[in-house]
Amino acid sequence: VVGASPDERSTGQRIIRFLDRYGYAGAVYAVNPKYAEILGKPCVATVAQAGPVDLALIVVPATAVPAVLEDCVRAGAKHAIIMAAGFADDSQASGHELQQAVARIVAASTLRVGGPNAEGYLNVLDGIPASFSSSVDPEVGFVGIDWVPEGSNLVRLAAGNIAVLAQSGGLGFSCFSRGLADGLGFSHIVSTGNEVDLDILECLAYLLEDPRVRVLSLYLEGLKQPERFTAVARRAAELGKPLVIGKAGASESGRKAALSHTGHLAGTDAVYEAVFKSYGIHRVRDQEELIDASWAFSCCPLPRGNRVAVISWSGGSAVWTADACERAGFVLPEIDPDRQRELRALLPSFASTANPVDITGASQIGLADVLRVLVDAPYLDAIVLISTLHRSELLRRDFSLMQQIVASADKPIILHTYTRPSAESKRLMRELGLPFYTSSTRTVRALRALADYASFQQRWQASAGRTAVAVSDSPELTRNLSEYDASALLAQAGLPTSKQILARSPREAAAAARRLGLPVALKLQSPDLAHKSAVGGVLLNVRTLREVRAGCARLLELATTLGGGLQVQGVLVQEMVTAGVEVIVGIENSSGFGPLVLLGMGGLRAEELRDSTMRCAPITMAEARLMLGELRGAPFLLQHRPDGMEPDVDALLQLLVDLSEWAARNAHLVRELDLNPVIVHARGRGVAIVDSLMVVAADGVAGAGES
């Protein structure tokens, strides 16, 4: 502990005290030239004097850190964690310079460094508190938690399976402290800070492989190397370990704070949203939701479907919970007659046995008696118990029977308490391994998290052959393709482009129009002209051959006036596509996460509506269908149109799937692609790509128009 001091409240002394209290078995040295001993540990002047240490916890102020790190390198230390703030998190230039100095030392050595501006970590499984967080402090963090003994005894936290990793130290450790009080079991808490070397992804990848860890919950502000994220997310999906992620910075003001907080640039929120959906990552919107979801994942088997039984000791809470279930897309099947008969034999006549099963407060029946009747009903995928945990008599009474039922249940059982839970109830629930929530909405939300992950895993298993995308392939040096060249590429890939012919002269244009049939569209073609409409380079609905010739001449003339050495390929003569619904389909491959496929509602006012969604390419038909379901406008413009027209939604989804596969195969080639608009015709008549804008690797493809 470098920078330890005899001051009781100092960070260094706190850490040493925690190491003692948790019974850390290794040797601990204080490093401080002024003292010989701190808290009974030998105090040395330099790290080197402590011998080859495994981990140096550095608590000196920021300006002293580079020298300490040099000392660590000399001493052959393997790891160090820098706890001080005042590096890249500081708005002053000196902070950034200090962080760069640290980065240089890291680069020149084998030392691996956590932080700066990190609160360290707590390894619960192996009893290592390498942190100064007050949440780790038994005198503060565990007050009132009756399964963590208070006083001077050794802290023995029961092993749990939830690892929390946070780019904000305070949030990660407070999740631990709050969760512990509820009854959650944690394996590790890690605070990564400014991530000068070790980042949250490397920690995540490491913990993912630990068989004792089942749930990994992250507070994320941003990723410096997003390309590494998908590999870790894929691995989590393969292992069937849920990732729960709070990604902050969705709002404009949020982004500002993220920027200044740990020096991360929060990525565009829509990209993260897409990546999270693609890999079944459960996104949460605040800390409480993170704790709630982690708890359910930590304890419960996954449900096979959406069918829920609600069993309640309070009629009012049953109704509220049934409402919440319906809002969250669950159904409450009526309990079968045999089981209802069994329940009626146990319950007073004013109880209700259909579903919700309202036991009523007046009943003296136990939790286990009801649960036993319903738990193996094949048409139920999950069970919500609603009870009061204010008193624990009910739990105590048939505790061992409950233990048996919970242990052998193949579906999630979660509990909602409408009263403040007593300490004993919490302890008993913890021993049962049942999560509980103090709100019906939160209860159902936790169940939704389980059900969503279950259906993700089903989709994931079903598309086992899914191509791994080499996301680092995204081209850096790029150029635009003309619509003609882009269309040629898309047509080669079997995508439904419009019929079109490139004309170099009015005569060729007229001949092309004759072949295609009038009316036609005429579009000036140049790789240097990304937005040809904006300069008047597009003529629509050209109705006669004479107008075709004149139009073509006009466009070629226009090209000469645009200047700047415009490279002109000619004029594209294109069939006019009949009316239909306009959507936008695209590829975005600049985020670092690999190619993302986009679907959005189109038309003149598309930008005002901001109605689009993305996924990592390639996608399956099931994912395409989910994307459609996320567009707010889809019910009105594609699925249940007021005018009764039925657009060819299947063809649109097929286009999405095909394009996504093409994008995945061509990640090295394509950086950006806009198919805008894609026209969706009536059912059976398919879709047509009417315009396309593509940005490709500079050396990736010869323009068809140039060959």
- Smaller CB distance to a copy of itself: residue 145 or 663? 145
Complex with a copy of itself: residue 355 or 574, whichever CB lies closer = 355
Q: Which residues of 462-491 are buried (b: 16+ CB within 10 A; e: fewer)?
A: eeeebeebebebbbeebbbbbbbbbbbbbb
Q: Which helix (H) or strand (E) holds 236?
A: helix 226-239
Q: How far, in Å, CA of 171 to CA of 636, rounded?
A: 41
- 3-state SS of 285-327 is CCHHHHHHHHHHHHHCCCCCCCEEEEEECCHHHHHHHHHHHHH
Considering the complex, state which of residue 273 and residue 547 has its C-beta at the smaller distance from a copy of itself: 273
H/E run at residue 139: helix 138-141
89 phi/psi in degrees, rounded to 5: -75, -10
Whole-number minimum distance, CB 89 to a copy of itself, in Å?
Answer: 5
Please check whether residue 568 is in contact with residue 525, taking contact to mean a CB–CB distance below 8 angstroms: yes
Whether the ω angle into residue 618 lies within 30 degrees of 0, i.e. cis, is yes
How do 243-247 and 215-220 pair as beta strands?
A: parallel
Q: Distance between CA atoms of 123 and 100, rounded to whole angstroms?
A: 29
| Nearer to a copy of itself (CB atom), residue 417 or residue 569 | 417
The nearer residue to a copy of itself, 360 or 654, going by C-beta atoms, is 360
Least CB distance from residue 216 to a copy of itself, whole Å? 17
Residue listed under structure tokens 């005429």:
522
Q: Please, what is the minimum distance in Å from the beta carbon of residue 400 to a copy of itself?
A: 25
Closest to a copy of itself by CB, 23 vs 361, is: 361
What is the smallest separation between the CB atom of 269 and a copy of itself, expressed in angstroms? 9
Closer CB to a copy of itself, residue 545 or residue 577? 577
**How would you class 688 by CB atoms within 10 Å of its CB: exposed for 0-12, middle for 13-18, buried for 19 or more?**
buried
Amino acid (1-letter code) at residue 304: R
* Residue 407: other Cβ atoms inside 10 A: 9
Is the omega angle on the peptide bond into residue 149 within 30 degrees of 0, that is, cis?
no
CB of 647 to a copy of itself, least distance (A): 12
Q: Which is nearer to a copy of itself, 146 or 706 (CB)?
A: 146
Q: How near is the Cβ of 457 to a copy of itself at its closest, in Å?
A: 27
The least CB distance from residue 456 to a copy of itself, in Å, is 23
Q: Is 597 helix (H, G, I), strand (E, B) or coil?
A: strand
Q: How far is the CB of 97 from a copy of itself (least distance, A)?
A: 13
Nearer to a copy of itself, 63 or 467 (CB): 63
The whole-angstrom separation of Cα 410 and Cα 396 is 23
Q: Give me the least distance between CB of 676 and a copy of itself, in Å please.
A: 12
* Neighbouring C-alpha atoms within 13 Å toward the C-beta of 480: 16
